[in-house]
Structure 1
């Protein structure tokens, strides 16, 4: 993927999406998949994972990715704000139901995947544990750990919470299948489906021929106990595969 530097992006028109360069981070990949499915063109802007990203902080008020900036509107970096921006820019292909109950359902399940203390957050706590157990953790790791509120006790508690989320999602798909739907909410694809498809990589990434992620990152994603590997149930894995077959382009480009 071709990236603009922050300095170039500030003056560029239209929709700009700040992404961690060279790696398929789940929050960024989910944003890309949603924008692409909606037909929204964007300019990719480089963020260095774990770096200080001083120019990015000066522009957007923070140093993480993803961040979306549309024209002269304020930057948005929270996963839900990114989703709502996509909904506003491309309302003809909605990923949230119209009815309030359906919207609450879709946003609530999405939060269990992409939100604070959700699937991605908890998996990140686990992944940080080896480096944070060192006498002097690398500075980029320490910066990331601070953002996630990492502690030994938080990392230890993550497995039980992840199992609860996995069971919830698996149960929802089972219930939906009994009604004839392969999706998490209703009869059509929603944001929940896009979030799960991308965050499932934190347990089992897609093969290298369609996801050419760095070897070190693949090793980290695939690390974990048997309990962690079991989070991706056959039903959840089948849903992920359906999404990449029908809704998300391959190979991944980052």
Structure 2
């Protein structure tokens, strides 16, 4: 598979088909999952990196954050479920949603527990913010980053105990769902496999040659993993399997 093609804003605006706006220089699980889903489906796309000061990109997407999936003349899609539904429509094969209704409901429920507001990733972000603010940026996010993200994620000291518990609960739910299988729903990859692999990167970081990122952000993730429940070994093995077989390495950040 070809490496992700990173382009500037003007090139993306002029391009046809699918354009993805992704977080720059950070392995954002939401951005990496969006790229991974379209990659598995073989849907071609170009990617634009979004940084803190990229106001023109935000004007184009009409969204404050990333990822944003811009397809043809359609409005941009920012939510993980909306991006998945777009992927299922424009790249129907292979489907990344289970056929059986009960499995489908389970997949979307677990995906929300992982990717949604208040879920595992959101909660771990709150813990990183708290560590950064409490340590003056020596651990967790650098203090200016922690302050900025605190407003975005609804940070309150009163929420941190619950956030830590939510991370532990999320890991247990995922480990129980995966069991000893290669993938969450048997022999076929689903979107949950992609989300899980992208999420585990924040708690069991791949080496810099595979996952290059700004050193203070790597430090933030490294220090956060010691403050939350350990990621189960089965989920790390699943992450490694997904990147070996289906996802892009090194990551294009």
TM-score normalized with structure 1 length: 0.88
Work out the CA distance in 2 between the residues paired with 1:157 and 1:5: 40
Length, aligned pairs only: 245
Work out the CA distance in 2 between the residues paired with 1:243 and 1:116: 24
Partner of 2:19: 16
Distance 1:184 1:9, change over 3 A: same
Work out the CA distance in 1 between the residues paired with 2:117 and 2:47: 25
Alpha-carbon distance, 1:5 to partner: 3.4
Work out the CA distance in 2 between the residues paired with 1:159 and 1:36: 32
Partner of 2:156: 151
Distance 1:214 1:54, change over 3 A: closer
Partner of 1:203: 203
Work out the CA distance in 2 between the residues paired with 1:22 and 1:94: 29
Distance 1:240 1:32, change over 3 A: same
Alpha-carbon distance, 1:234 to partner: 1.3
Which piece of structure 1 moves more, 217-226 or 102-111? Answer: 217-226
Partner of 1:243: 242
Q: Which runs of 4+ in 1 moved over 6 A?
A: none
Within the candidate set 33, 38, 54, 2:36 is matched to: 33
Q: Does 1:233 align with 2:232?
A: yes
Work out the CA distance in 1 between the residues paired with 2:247 and 2:7: 23
Alpha-carbon distance, 1:114 to partner: 0.9
Distance 1:63 1:5, change over 3 A: farther
Partner of 1:65: 66
Partner of 1:47: 50
Does structure 2 conserve the Cα–Cα contact (< 8 Å) formed by 1:127 and 1:221?
A: yes
Residues 110-125 of structure 1: pairs in structure 2 closer than 5 A: 110-125=111-126
Work out the CA distance in 2 between the residues paired with 1:16 and 1:34: 13
Partner of 2:9: 6
Q: Per-residue displacement from partner, 1:62-96 (whole Å, max 9, x unpaired)?
A: 22011010000110001111111111111011100
Work out the CA distance in 2 between the residues paired with 1:220 and 1:227: 11
- Secondary structure of the 1:74 match is coil
TM-score normalized with structure 2 length: 0.88
Work out the CA distance in 2 between the residues paired with 1:163 and 1:101: 25
Which piece of structure 1 moves more, 54-63 or 184-193? Answer: 54-63
Alpha-carbon distance, 1:125 to partner: 0.8
Q: Per-residue displacement from partner, 1:138-182 (whole Å, max 9, x unpaired)?
A: 2x54342222111112233211111111111111122xx3xxx32
- Secondary structure of the 1:36 match is helix
Partner of 1:187: 187
Partner of 2:140: none
Distance 1:151 1:52, change over 3 A: farther
CA RMSD of aligned residues (A): 2.2
